[in-house]
Chains A and B, each alone.
Chain A
Amino acid sequence: MRTRPPIVAVEGLQVVKGRNLILDVPFLEIEQGEIFSLIGPNGAGKTTLLQALSFLSKPSRGKVCFGGKPIGNGFPVLEYRRKLSMVFQEPLLFNTTVFENVASGLKIRGVNRAQIRNVVSRQLERFGVAHLEQRSARTLSGGEAQRTSLARAFAVHPEILFLDEPFASLDPPARESLIQDLEGVLRETQTTAVLATHDRMEALRLSDRIAVMERGKIAQIGPPAEVMNHPADEFIASFVGTETILTGSAVGGNAGTFTTSVSGRLIEAAGGALPGEQVILCIRPENVTLSANPVPEPSSARNVFSATVERIIPAGFFHKVRLDCGFPLVAYVTNHALEDLRLEPGKNVFASFKATAIHVIRKKPLSS
């Protein structure tokens, strides 16, 4: 169903550091024009993959192809580097003016002065730093510096842009406005981008596809909604914000749903599983509803449990409520509902969630 050819393709890519295999990506294709994110905890291999993809450090094994040609072997490394741009967490600006910084990639390419003037002005404008043109890079705020760094990256009209945690050291307002601007520019210029981030929200909002990395490997790859709602394993589920991850064994099923026994409680989930099979149930906290009474629901496929509030954790506009239903359960509750239900630790309430709101992971026997 592919409509766009891959701009970068990877085969058997491995990076070895000392005696450890720190990156192992057998196959990966980045499509022309897509925004592709690498998410995962620190040390998962995001930066290593990004540097191997950009050929800033040569992979130990395997090949990276640009437009079908293997880099370093049929396609010169320097030529490849002149088709890409990279933005790091630190702006890494040169000790000169903002203008000269944005011009640096063009100067390296030997572009003439008049043309540089043109391109640089346009990029400064685009990233909202035109008024800082003659300022020394030393005097910029964090947000301004990162904008300058992005303008520098776009000035060379990259065919592919690599971003390594570009927003991680910005304060929330600067970060928000920069993400918006960057998204606009990426969509407008149709630039292919590969973004490494530990912040799943950033990835969800910007990406066409997401790859979740764990211990040097890509654990799952797919569109944001798929990774979010159908995580392939427990690790990914917890990384994308699934608070409740339960292990149980299926006891039986009928007509599109089946029942699982979790710590002696029966939970009904959409899907199917063989009786006796081990399954993992993922329940996102925003899909759990709390009420004072066991509200009768028209739908039969609904799980209702009596629960005891264990802890209430404020999280800004809502609260995260940890419950004990015989099994642990986490729900997000609005501040308004918290007051309505007079929630406090020790209080008994009813927690309900739909059978269709449960993501089921069927454990394959003897696989790891």
Chain B
Amino acid sequence: MDIVLDGIVKAFELLAGFDPEVIGITLLSLRVSGTATLISLLIGISVGTAVALSEFPGKKFVVSVINTGMALPPVVVGLFVTIFLWRSGPLGFLDILYTPTAMILAQAIIATPIVTGISLAAMQQLPKKLRLQILALGATPVQMVWILIREARLPLLAAVMAGFGGVISEVGASIMVGGNIKGYSRVLTTATVMETSKGNFDIAIALSVILLLFAYVINLILTQIQQKERPR
């Protein structure tokens, strides 16, 4: 048990002392995952809303593809992003493999289906007649979409949280396309993996505590959202 207790004590020392390396890793994690989430929101909310509000043949198929994408394994994403960015790969000329940019790209690919799927569900959950009501109030198509998005803001917030939660805790793709380079592309998850394999449990625990803290905050917000209900 000593190993655990020692680890926890040292972990809090690192956190309380604002260890520069831990801080740096945390900030990079937030920057990479935050940017990736932002990109996924732009794409996901647009695509989710468009699919939810339109009727076209094959819509069910598109929805099933999006829902499958929500469970996209990060290592698979990591593999394909690596292949594409490989020097001789189709996007090799970009020369971004083993950079935070590549990590943002991979994480955005992981988060986008998640955000799209939840946005789609959120928009479909709104009563169908609400669209007619908004049109009857004199809205232009753009105003209508904007009002609908505002009406679905709580479940859309859930999409944000789920997307962010998915990528901040993801390790496979980050390590594959980022390379876990110290001070450059090392994030919370990749650092935890490495420190654990080196037997540096104290640092690994400190990093895990930060990850857990993120998980807690995300779930707290989600729970708050779930407690609210729609008006009649």
**A104 CB → nearest B CB, Å:** 6
Answer whether residue A112 sits at the interface, using C-beta atoms and an 8 A cutoff.
no
Answer whether residue B230 sits at the interface, using C-beta atoms and an 8 A cutoff.
yes
| Assembly CA distance A9 to B129 (angstroms) | 25
**A137 CB → nearest B CB, Å:** 4
Partner of B138, one of A82, A88, A92: A82
Question: Given that A92-B130, A95-B151 are known contacts, is A78 also in contact with B231, CB under 8 Å in the complex?
Answer: no
| Assembly CA distance A86 to B137 (angstroms) | 8
- Tell me the A146-185 residues at the B interface (CB within 8 Å): 152, 156, 162
Is A56 a contact partner of B135 (Cβ separation < 8 A)? yes
| Assembly CA distance A51 to B129 (angstroms) | 11
**A146 CB → nearest B CB, Å:** 9
Across the interface, which residues of B come within 8 angstroms of A108, CB to CB? 137-139, 143
Answer whether residue B183 sits at the interface, using C-beta atoms and an 8 A cutoff.
no
Is B143 a contact partner of A92 (Cβ separation < 8 A)? no
**A191 CB → nearest B CB, Å:** 15
Is A105 a contact partner of B138 (Cβ separation < 8 A)? yes
Contact mask for chain A residues 121-162; partner B; CB cutoff 8 A; 1 contact, 0 none: 000000000000000111010100100000010001000001
| Assembly CA distance A104 to B137 (angstroms) | 8
Is A145 a contact partner of B232 (Cβ separation < 8 A)? yes
Task: Give the number of residue pairs across the A-B interface with Cβ within 8 Å.
Answer: 65
Partner of B231, one of A56, A86, A137, A152: A137
Answer whether residue A260 sits at the interface, using C-beta atoms and an 8 A cutoff.
no
Across the interface, which residues of A come within 8 angstroms of B127, CB to CB? 90, 92
Is B230 a contact partner of A95 (Cβ separation < 8 A)? yes
**A65 CB → nearest B CB, Å:** 19
Report B's interface with A, CB cutoff 8 A: 127, 129-130, 132-133, 135-140, 143, 147, 150-151, 153-154, 228-232
**B148 CB → nearest A CB, Å:** 10
Across the interface, which residues of A come within 8 angstroms of B153, CB to CB? 95
**B25 CB → nearest A CB, Å:** 39
- Tell me the A47-83 residues at the B interface (CB within 8 Å): 51, 54, 56-57, 78, 81-82
Across the interface, which residues of B come within 8 angstroms of A51, CB to CB? 132
Pick 11 A–B contacts, CB within 8 A, sort by A: A86-B133, A88-B132, A90-B232, A91-B232, A92-B127, A93-B231, A93-B232, A95-B231, A138-B230, A145-B232, A152-B137
Partner of A54, one of B136, B151, B230: B136
| Assembly CA distance A157 to B160 (angstroms) | 39
Answer whether residue A109 sits at the interface, using C-beta atoms and an 8 A cutoff.
yes
**B23 CB → nearest A CB, Å:** 39
| Assembly CA distance A134 to B49 (angstroms) | 30
| Assembly CA distance A137 to B136 (angstroms) | 19
Is A140 a contact partner of B138 (Cβ separation < 8 A)? no
| Assembly CA distance A109 to B138 (angstroms) | 7
Across the interface, which residues of A come within 8 angstroms of B133, CB to CB? 86, 88, 92
Answer whether residue A308 sits at the interface, using C-beta atoms and an 8 A cutoff.
no
Is B147 a contact partner of A56 (Cβ separation < 8 A)? no
